[in-house]
Structure 1
Amino acid sequence: MIRNLLAFTLLLSTLYINAQDSSGYEIRIKMDGYTGQKMFLGNYFGDKEYLKDSATIDKKGWFVFKGTEKLPCGIYSFINEERNARILEFVVNSEDQHYSLKTKHDDPVAALEVNGSMDNKLFSDYQKYMMNNGKKRMELGQRYTELLSMKSDSAAILKKQIEAMDEDYQNYRNTLIEKNPQSLTARILKALIEPEVPEAPLLPDGTPDKEFQYRYYKAHYWDNVDFTEDCLVRTPFFHSRLERYMTKMILQIPDSINYEADQLVAMAKGKKELYHYIVWWITMHYERSQFMCMDAVPVHMWKNYYVWPDAFWVDTTTMTRIKERLKVMEPLCCNKVTPNLVMKDTAHKYRSLHAVQAKYTVLLFWDPDCSHCKKEMPIIKNMYDSLHSYGVEVYAVGVEQEYDKWKQFIIDNKLNWINVIDIYNESNFRGLYDITSTPVIYLLDSNKQIVAKKMGAKQLNEILLRELGIIDRNTPLPPDEDKHVEPNPLMETRPEN
């Protein structure tokens, strides 16, 4: 009876210990030579690193990081007491979060001993391999470049040594991945493998297909990236891979960007943090873009993905602001027909924007007291005088209510285009056209679709010359140093981990 009771007690104890081990985390580290009394636990999220936890050294020299809830998986690091140096990186997977690490402060990678975490044993072995071979590989590469520039015969010998080292690395990495496919270390290393592009096929005329390599590489860019778990978003690699794909692999026009964004978001659907980061980063990156017409990207993202419950990170206040911003910006995207304006001109006659008969209409919002307007107006006037005969008209809206000052400025500067004003704000032009500063310029085609917008006078002139065929369409636009960039009132806070 006593024996059975003892066995039952041991069983309960074992179950209790296992229950503790399966929940929460406890990561212990002892670091010989580290003089600080405190250490921090940091983790990556996108391109940033955040402090996750802290620990004070115990009597036996251990720093114990412990919590009742599991840590999100990813690459973590131990950070010194001053919080200005990363001491050692390690991995946290979704399963094993109870283990200990021992090392030395003066050489933490080489001296690392891992107990209780196979994933960190793999990660540590990989770090040691790279530390031992990476420096030699870099030195050989530098020497090879020098010999190559000197046209030395020794360059060929070094090239073979470099190729042998690269082959050894690939074999080491591939073996690790093949033997440990479920480990986080293997998934991280696999995500770093670039697609191997085969030789380009021949076109019917017998020449190689010059675009094949780009198409193949782009089509297989994400093949080795694991989208089945959120872990990779908490590594320093995912952000750079996402940024390179969106900014270097895709034609930078809104339609192409929006299409690729949809594909990526679909791949991350159901993975909370991957979905969060991809949606957030694409939206914010293109909202900050200084390239014309790129606001069509955040408009697309807001409209399709900033919807509860999927956009779980957006609070009520921010969601309200997004919806308000979307309502203003969507009708003002390039290629959209602009909202009509009907205002009185200097003769108190109503003039409709959509009734203007012109090949191109410059819609200009300005203020006679605005110093920047005074600088831009002579350039626009010269443009108008030289291009009016080509079918260019200006519909200039005075944004303030001082009628006499507005009219006198028109007379003094001989602004002989269509001048209108809305003293009583009957048209709501500020809300319709997102006018928060002056001058603001839109270029419209004959159907009153937006061709270009919110540019400076110099760029306006160059764009019109290209549109009218007076200069080559491929002529680069001049830098618009005088353009006034209004800060966006809706810059969503970056995601916190």
Structure 2
Amino acid sequence: MRILKLLILVFVLGITSKTSAQEIYNADYSFTIEGLAAGENMRLAYYLGDKQYIKQESLSQEGGLVNFKIDTLHVGLCMLVFPDNNYFEFVAKEPRVIMKTNKDDVIGAMEVIASEENAKLYEYLKYNNQRQMDLQKIEGNAQLNDEQKATMRMDMNQKGQVRQKEFVEKYPNSFMAKLISASMEYVPKDAPEGLSDDEINAFRFYEYRKHYFDNIDFSQSDLLYSPVYHPKLMAYTDQLTLQQPDSLIAATEYLLGKASANDEYFKYTLITLLNKFAKTKVICQDEVYLHLVDNYYLSGKAVWMDEEGLTKLKVSADNLRNNLCGKLAVNFELPDVNGTKQSLYAQSAEYTILAFMQTDCIPCEKVLEELSNMDQAVLPSFKVVTVFREGDQTAWKGVLMNKTKDNWVNLMNVDGALNSERDYNVQSYPTLYLLDKDKRIVLKRISASQIVDYMNTVNN
């Protein structure tokens, strides 16, 4: 029996779709669990992507009987959760399920009385459970050396792969077969003859990526309600895609094209990708977020969004449009400490560090010190331009005197002449940009140390 580490204790229906949902109606699920006391609060939960949600709660009866009567439930993998968050899984695909087991040995003692799907599930789980115990015996056998253990592990793993294929062939239409197939690694075909080692590796990689989702039927939503789809979605974007905006945008288009075969897959995939790139800490990947907002949300394809939500997304997207990596930074003219207006574009330097600051800001003072201490050998031709949020002039001059250098250009955003939120997406202070000699954005929303790291890479 496994422990549920994260269970969201709310009742939600998740994603619904009138056109393509796979649902069970009037489900009657009964579980008899020997060793379970009466009056225990048991929960029936389901997967949705990488989360788990409670569908219904029920108190156990005498003899360990737990019963759930559910009006509608998505086809997929569910779990019965104990009060201590231990749980066991079962397939929800039939309207009637009757299962019996022992609390102390759920898999080994499982008896499926009514449910062909769960009989197949536990046939496989019992085999896999025994296999895991055999592996543990190998690891604990002091008479075997490391080489012998490795050989035996490899042999057992190969037998496990054969057993998986046999199971899929034996029960091709079962939900468990779908789970196994979707989890199996695709083995790329042999590369053409005459290729170099690098070309062979590239061939295998692209062949593997091309077939990565072959065993997921996007026209059916059942695997969305299992732990299988979300990790594959993340692996495709994080591990099988070059982490550059153009490549990531192409990947999101590919994924959403696949997911468009089913309303539920499309909604989940789009929401997941949007949240991923909204929260990304990787510099310059916000271009992917902007692409998703413009091409899917603001274009009307996210039909579930209300006007208020769309308005918020539009504002967040508009705050990114003018400051994407590779674009010219928005020019501005602001007064310096002497009241003389200075233009960003008038600053001549190989690189310009543009620093948005405010007074009475300890993190800002720390960053100013870091910028002051930068090694001239690392940044041989750069200029620092600070733009302070409008505030007390005396406090501003005090910061400049103690924390900046004489050759810096220090400006104040008087009367909000520069819309720093719209043009530079300044949400907090300090915020740093690195611009090239043409004032194109090289890096954004970075630390002083990241600027040094970047310049070290360029110089080398």
TM superposition score normalised by structure 2: 0.84
8 Å Cα contact 1:109-1:128 kept in structure 2: yes
Other-structure match for 2:238: 247
Q: Which residue of 2 aligns with 1:223?
A: 214
Deviations 1:38-62 (A, max 9, x none): 4211112222222111223457863
If asked which structure has higher relative contact order (CA below 8 Å, sep 6+), I would say: 2
The answer for the alignment partner of 1:55 in structure 2 is 58
In structure 1, the partner of 2:90 is 90
Q: Kindly report which structure 2 residues correspond to 1:174-323, keeping only aligned pairs within 5 A, or say none.
A: 174-203=165-194, 209-307=200-298, 310-312=301-303, 314-323=305-314
Pair 1:406–1:107, CA change in 2 (3 A): closer
TM-fit CA distance, 1:203:
4.1
Q: How does 1:135-174 map to 2 (within 5 A)?
A: 135-140=133-138, 147-148=145-146, 155=148, 159=151, 162=153, 165-174=156-165
Deviation at 1:226, TM superposition (A): 2.5
Residue 380 of structure 1 deviates from its aligned partner by 2.0
- Which of 1 and 2 has greater Rg? 1
Residues 351 and 189 of structure 1: CA distance in aligned 2, closer, same or farther (over 3 Å): same
Matched, 1:403 2:385: no
**Offset, 1:324:** 0.8
Confirm or deny: 8 A CA contact 1:384 1:394 kept in the other structure.
no
CA contact 1:401–1:424 (8 Å) conserved in 2: no
Equivalent residue letter for 2:209: K
- Give the conservation status (yes or no) of the 8 Å contact 2:322–2:422: no
* Structure 1 pair 30–384 and aligned structure 2 pair: CA distance change class (3 A): closer
Partner of 1:102: 100
> How many angstroms does 1:360 deviate by?
1.8
- For residues 11-22 of structure 1, the aligned pairs below 5 Å read none
CA 1:244/1:143 → structure 2, altered by over 3 Å: closer, same or farther? farther
Q: In 2 relative to 1, CA 328–147 (structure 1 residues): closer, same or farther, beyond 3 Å?
A: same
Instruction: Give me the whole-angstrom Cα distance separating, in 1, the residues matched to 2:99 and 2:411.
Output: 74
Would the alpha carbon gap of residues 217 and 385 (structure 1) be closer, same or farther in structure 2, given more than 3 Å must change?
Answer: closer
Q: Tell whether 2:68 aligns with 1:65.
A: yes
In the TM superposition, what is the alpha-carbon distance from 1:332 to its structure 2 partner?
A: 1.7
Q: Matches of 1:208 and 1:407 in 2, distance apart?
A: 60
Mind listing any 5+ residue stretches in structure 1 that lack a counterpart? Answer: 1-20, 150-154, 473-497
CA distance in 1, matches of 2:127, 2:407: 75
**Partners of 1:58 and 1:378 in 2: CA distance:** 67
Deviations along 1:111-164, whole A, 9 cap, x unmatched? 222233221111111111111223213433676996235xxxxx29x73x5555
Q: Output the amino acid matched with 1:406.
A: W
Inter-partner Cα distance in structure 2 for 1:405 and 1:167:
71
Provide the C-alpha distance between the structure 2 equivalents of 1:310 and 1:181, rounded to a whole number of angstroms.
35
The answer as to whether partners of 1:384 and 1:393 remain within 8 angstroms in 2 is no
AA aligned opposite 1:193? M
- Residue aligned with 1:91, SS: strand
Match of 2:440 among 434, 449, 474: 449
* Paired residue type of 2:450: Q
Given candidates 319, 339, 344, the residue that maps to 1:348 is 339
Instruction: Specify whether residues 190 and 111 from structure 1 end up closer, same or farther in structure 2 by C-alpha distance, changes over 3 A only.
Output: same
Q: 2:360 aligns with which of 340, 361, 369?
A: 369
Q: 1:146 to 1:203 in 2, by over 3 A?
A: farther
Task: Give the Å deviation of 1:66.
Answer: 0.9
Alignment counterpart, residue 27 of structure 1, candidates 26, 29, 41: 29
Instruction: State the AA in 1 paired with 2:344.
Output: L
By how many angstroms is 1:195 displaced?
0.8
CA–CA separation in structure 1 for the residues paired with 2:125 and 2:433: 55
1:350 Cα shift?
2.6
Letter in 1 for 2:92: V
Aligned to 1:16: none
In structure 2, relative to structure 1, the CA distance for the partners of 1:277 and 1:374 (3 Å cut) is: same
| Change in 2 beyond 3 A, CA 1:58/1:140 | closer
Q: Whole-Å Cα distance in 1 between the matches of residues 139 and 217 of structure 2?
A: 31
Contact 1:191 1:226 in 2 (8 A): no
Structure 1 counterpart of 2:208, which letter? Y
Offset from partner CA, 1:414-459 (integer Å, 9 cap, x none): 4322222232222223442222332221111123221011222232
User: Aligned partners of 1:360, 1:207: CA distance in 2, in Å?
Assistant: 36
The answer (yes or no) to whether the contact 2:334–2:414 under 8 Å persists in 1 is no
Structure 2 match to 1:79:
81
Deviations for 1:40-97, whole angstroms, at most 9, x for unmatched residues?
Answer: 111122222221112234578632211222x1111111112x25221x211112xx22
Mark the CA change 1:170 to 1:407 in structure 2 (over 3 Å): closer, same or farther: closer
Shift of 1:228: 2.0
Distance (Å, rounded) in 2 between the aligned partners of 1:186 and 1:217: 21
CA RMSD of aligned residues (A): 3.0
Q: 1:107 Cα deviation (Å)?
A: 2.1
Out of 399, 406, 428, the position equivalent to 1:415 is: 406
Q: 1:24 to 1:415 in 2, by over 3 A?
A: farther
Q: 1:172 to 1:342 in 2, by over 3 A?
A: same
Q: Identify which range, 189-198 or 302-311, moves more after superposition.
A: 302-311
**Equivalent-residue separation in structure 2 for 1:415 and 1:54 (angstroms):** 68
Seen in structure 2, the aligned counterparts of structure 1 residues 77 and 124 have a Cα distance that, compared at 3 Å, is: same
Aligned residues between the structures: 436
SS of alignment partner, residue 51 of structure 1: strand
Match of 1:29, SS state, is: strand
Compute the displacement of 1:312 (Å): 4.8
Which ranges in structure 2 are unaligned for 5 or more consecutive residues?
1-22
Q: Which amino acid letter does the alignment assign opposite residue 358 of structure 2?
A: D
Give the structure 2 partner of residue 45 of structure 1. 48
Distance in 2, Cα, partners of 1:367 & 1:417: 16
- What are the Cα deviations for residues 368-417 of structure 1, in whole angstroms up to 9, with x where unaligned? 432223222233234486678x5422322121232344345435554322
TM-score when normalising by structure 1: 0.78
What's the % identity of the aligned pairs?
A: 27
AA aligned opposite 1:395: V
Q: Answer yes or no: is 1:338 the counterpart of 2:329.
A: yes
Q: Is the CA contact (8 Å cut-off) linking 2:24 and 2:75 kept in structure 1?
A: no
- The worse-fitting range, judged by mean Cα deviation, of 259-268 and 109-118 is 109-118
